Structure formats: structure tokens, C-alpha cells
Amino acid sequence: MQSVQGAKTSAIQSANENATELETDYLIVGSGAVGMAFADTLLTETDANIIMVDKHHKPGGHWNVAYPFVTLHQPSAFYGVSSRELSKGYKDQVGWNKGLNELATGAEVSAYFDDVMREQFLPTGRVQYFPMCDYQGNGEFENTLTGQRYKARPNKKTVDCTYLKTTVPSTHTPNFDLASGVQFMPLNDLPKVTSAPSAYVIVGGGKTGIDAVLFLLEKHVDPDRITWIMPRDAWLLDRENTQPTEEFFGSSIGAQASQMEAIAESTSINDMFERLERAGVFMRLDTNVWPKMFHGATVSKMELEQLRRVKNVVRMGRVTSIELDKIVLQEGEIPTSTRHIHVDCSASAISNLTMKPIFEDGLITPQTVRSYQPVFSAAFIAHVEASYPNDQIKNKICNVVPLPNTDLDWLRLTAAFMLNQHIWGQDPELREWLLNNRLDGFSQLVRNVKEDEIEKRMILKRLKENAQPAMAKLQAYLAEIS
């Protein structure tokens, strides 16, 4: 009699034998923002055929399950695929982003990627798209609706666009205990609240927590009815310094010059952070609390002003359990009740911070090669794949810029980013590509500075003169902390 395990093995072997065989040049696993940006550049710059596999029913990755009031945190001009503009080209006239370039909503981003797939990718005849498929490795995947199995054989490479493991609140399992009867929800469900609780408890101090607090304040919730559990305070970036349009040259390129200057002139790591704050590069929620976290979260000055209205900020470490009458934290406890709504904002946006070579034999693993810009990075990596002869050269061009977690990680990512910028600046072909790629953001701003624009030229002079000393200072600090 055949054992259960033997029967299971036979069934799998039979399914594999019945799998539909597919052949392509590139197999891209994941049709989120990174996968879409990578595929777009390949389609534009090569004649390659592509298979794209994704677990969601349409492209966009985590945008399919994002909270309904989510927006981009940086201007829309920086996001999407290289060949198609996402930004509408206007500034916000109302709200706490007023005066700055618009931030696309989650719905707009989701519709954008769907349009890119239907209107650009599929009509080429070079893209086969397999949504709602479970990728199982080694080119094998299964349609979760029909059970149909496929085996894809890429002639060139597999591109793993799932490596960074983006997580979102709606699919996150909290790593603390919850008593039965506690009102607890991901921030996705905040718009569904139909009966006012006695108070709101926001669990998490990152960008998701910021968004939850801003949502409540925008809907006129009294800030005294908000408790914000913040295990670590974070250094924040000023969104004004990320604007890619001409009128913000002094803010954006000026902030880059001030950053180099602050690093170069600093006498210690703490002194460097203080100088960066005085220069307007960094901001923090409470000037009396030294941040220990840096995730690259970006806010406007008006948003920061609103966040400071919440006075009940709990800094007792992470939550270990939420009981019916109290919340237990690593360093103490606070009261709560079943009439409180507890909002989970504790998921990390990126759950895999381990770096690996981007280019390996038969495999490309997109990671960030520029700070805070995974979509630009994917497009750039695809260009390098299409333009350079071997993996060794490609990896020298595409040094991984580590994703940050702690404040000291900012030093590591800044040094890696500066190294890449230096390498790219030595290559005329790469300089030209950056200049003409819409996701780059700032190359055009710098290139367009005229001879008689003295103030702008002074900013560029500060940037250039302080770059080398800043890099030397960063290397010294990194040696110190290692």
C-alpha cells in the first residue's frame, strides 16, 4: 500500500509533468512597483521577451492592499515607470502638503500601474502576464484560481522583485499578545469606524503611525483623545527638500549642499546630526528626545506641526501585550479599556534588510542603489543589465545602498549612495541616461542652471567643495562605530 507521503510526492511529480512549459528571456517575479519599473526599462531599451508572475489580481504589488487613505510620501514625479508620467504636474492647493508638488493617492497609483500593463506592456506582444499565481521557485508557478501549473524557462535571467518583502498593515500579524475583547484593527479599517470610541491608541512610531495620526487629526479627532505608542523616535526628512521642480532648487539642491557641509564640518556623529537638523535636512517630533530610528520617513512642516498637537506620546519601548484594562510595554504599562480602539501600525514596510549581490549567475535581485528610491533603482538596474557585458562590472556599478533602520544606518546609506554617484559620474553614458530618465529627478535641475544664475551656482559650488570632505568624515565615523 502506498504511503500518504508517497502519494503526495507522486501527485506533485504528476502535476509537474503536466505543467505548461513556457520560454522567455526574462522571468520577473512580482509586478509591484519594482517589477513594473524593471520591465518598463527592459521593454524600452531591449527587444527582450518577458514573463511576469504575481500573486495579486492586478499589477501594483502592495498597493492592492494598502490602506485607503494612503498617499505617496514624496512627489509623484519620482514614482512609477520611466516611460510614463504619474504626476499631473500641479501643486497641492489645500491640506497639509499645500504649496508642494502633489502626492498621488493609493487609488491613483494602483490605476496607473494597471494602465501601464494594459496600455503599454501587453500590446507589445513581448509580455506574458500571469496574475493570481503562486510562485514556487525554479521557474514554477501555479494559478491559484484554476490550479493550472506552469514551468517557465528564462533564456537569460530570473528577476526576483519580491526579495525586499514589502509588508502592509492589513496582512501583518502583530508580534504581541491580544486579549479577547480588545478593539484592535489595522489602520486600513479606520475609515470603517461607525461608533466613536473613548480614545484611540496608535501602536507604532513609523510612517504608518504618522499617517494614522494625521488621518485622525484631519477628521477632527481631538488630539487629547489620541495616545501614540512610539518605541523609538525617528529622524524625519522635510518634504520640501524633495521637490524636483525649478522653483524649489534652493530647497532641494540647497539641502544636498547643506547636508555635505554639515557632515564635512562636524566634529562627532552627534554633532553631525545636530548640524543636519539646524540646516533643515532633518526634523524630529520632539526636540527634547534624541531619535534612534531612521526609515527615511518624509513629512511636510505643516504635517509635523499637526503631529506635535498629540501630547500623549508613550516612550516605554515596544508593546508586549494588550489586555482588557492595560497595555504592557517593555518598560512599563499604561491603562486602556475595551472602549479604546487600538490601531496596529507596527508593521515594517520592508521586512528584509539583508543585502546580497544584485547580479548573480542567472539571477537579478533588485535592491536600492539610491537612497529612498526603490523604483528608480529598479529602472537603473534594468538599464545596467541591458548595457554592460558581465555581472562583475554590473555589480561594481550597482552597489547596494542599505535600507535604514537605526539612526546610524543613515551614515551607511549616505556613504554607499555617494560612492554610487561618484562611479556613475565617471561614465558618460550613465550620466546621459540619468539626465534623460524622468525618475532621476534632479539631474535636469542641475544641468539647466544658467551662467548668470549666481545663487544657484553658489549652491552647486558648496555641494562640490564639501563632497569629498564629507565622504572622508563619513568613512571615519563608520570606522568608529564598527
DSSP per-residue string spanning 234-260: B-EEEGGGG--SGGGHHHHHHHHHHHH
Of 309, 344, 379, which one is at a domain's C-terminal end? 344
Sign of CA pseudo-dihedral 390, 392, 397, 399: positive
Q: Whole-model pTM? A: 0.93
Evaluate if residue 298 carries a pLDDT over 60. yes
Does residue 309 belong to any structural domain of this protein? yes
Does residue 3 belong to any structural domain of this protein? no
Coil, strand or helix at 130? strand
175 and 150 together in one domain: no
Beta bridge partners of 239: none
Average pLDDT, the chain: 93
363 and 158 Cβ atoms separated by less than 8 Å: yes
DSSP per-residue string spanning 299-337: E-HHHHHHHTT---EE-S--EEEE-SSEEEETTEEEE--
31 and 161 together in one domain: yes
Per-residue confidence band for 18, with pLDDT thresholds at 50, 70 and 90: confident
Evaluate if residue 129 carries a pLDDT over 80. yes
Evaluate if residue 6 carries a pLDDT over 90. no
Mean pLDDT of 279-284: 98
Q: What is d(CA 421, CA 419) in angstroms, rounded to the nearest whole number?
A: 5
Does residue 442 belong to any structural domain of this protein? yes
368 and 292 together in one domain: no
Does residue 208 belong to any structural domain of this protein? yes
- What dihedral angle (degrees, nearest 10) is formed by the CA atoms of 347, 60, 300, 373? 90
35 and 99 together in one domain: yes
440 and 397 together in one domain: no
pLDDT computed for residue 16 by the predictor: 56
37 and 117 together in one domain: yes
Does residue 263 belong to any structural domain of this protein? no
Q: Dump pLDDT digits (tens) for 19-48.
A: 999 999 999 999 999 999 999 999 999 999
Q: State the DSSP H helix or E strand holding residue 386, giving kind and residue range, or none if neither.
A: helix 374-387
73 and 185 together in one domain: no
Of 344, 364, 393, which one is at a domain's C-terminal end? 344
Coil, strand or helix at 116? helix
85 and 225 together in one domain: no
357 and 396 Cβ atoms separated by less than 8 Å: no
The residue type at 367: Q
Of 344, 371, 387, which one is at a domain's C-terminal end? 344
186 and 152 together in one domain: no
Does residue 246 belong to any structural domain of this protein? no
Q: Dump pLDDT digits (tens) for 75-102.
A: 999 899 999 999 998 999 999 999 999 9
Per-residue confidence band for 352, with pLDDT thresholds at 50, 70 and 90: low
91 and 185 together in one domain: no
404 and 372 Cβ atoms separated by less than 8 Å: no
Does residue 230 belong to any structural domain of this protein? yes
Domain count, the chain: 3
The residue segments making up the domain with residue 135 are 12-166+351-406
Domain CATH for 295: 3.50.50.60
Residue found under cell 518577458: 50
52 and 127 together in one domain: yes
Query: At a CB cut-off of 8 Å and minimum separation 6, what does 115 contact?
Result: 84
33 and 116 together in one domain: yes
Q: Dump pLDDT digits (tens) for 151-190.
A: 999 999 999 999 987 666 767 788 899 999 999 999 999 9
Does residue 2 belong to any structural domain of this protein? no
pLDDT computed for residue 436 by the predictor: 93
Query: At a CB cut-off of 8 Å and minimum separation 6, what does 195 contact?
Result: none
Q: Are strands 20-29 and 149-160 parallel, antiparallel or unpaired?
A: parallel
Coil, strand or helix at 226? strand
